[in-house]
């Protein structure tokens, strides 16, 4: 089953919370910004999460809904989805 990498730039998040509507992976933290559950911090306020196709569609909707485009999705070849 193909794997996908979700990259989330939490520093750029403005707390619109639209991502939380589409995916249970995103929750609203106490500071009003979104958290990506299960993700690992790769750099300060930059998070990555590997998922399979089962979660892809809802995460794509979360990424599309983000007004500041801080959620990016990449396939196994590193191509943005």
- Could you please report the per-residue DSSP string of 25-60? TEEE-TTSSEEETT-EEEETTEEEEEEEHHHHHHHH
Among candidates 22, 25, 32, 18, which has minimal Cα distance to 60?
A: 22
Distance between terminal CA atoms of the chain?
16
Mean pLDDT value of segment 67-74: 98
Pull the structure tokens for residue 40: 């690992």
Q: Band the pLDDT of 2: cuts 50, 70, 90.
A: confident
Could you tell me which of 12, 2, 4, 6 has the C-alpha nearest to residue 48?
A: 6
Whether residue 1 has pLDDT greater than 90:
no
pLDDT averaged over the chain?
A: 97
Q: For residue 12, what pLDDT is reported?
A: 98
| pLDDT bracket for residue 71 (50, 70, 90) | very high
Domains and CATH numbers, the chain: 3-74 (3.30.70.20)
């Amino acid at each position: 089953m193909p794997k996908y990498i979700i990259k989330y730039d939490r520093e750029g998040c403005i707390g619109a919370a639209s991502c939380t509507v589409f995916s249970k992976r995103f929750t609203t933290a106490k500071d009003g910004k979104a958290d990506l559950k299960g993700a690992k911090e790769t750099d300060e306020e930059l998070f990555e999460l590997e998922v399979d196709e089962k979660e892809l569609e809802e995460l794509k909707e979360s990424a599309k809904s983000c007004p500041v485009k801080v959620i990016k999705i990449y396939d196994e070849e590193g191509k943005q989805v």
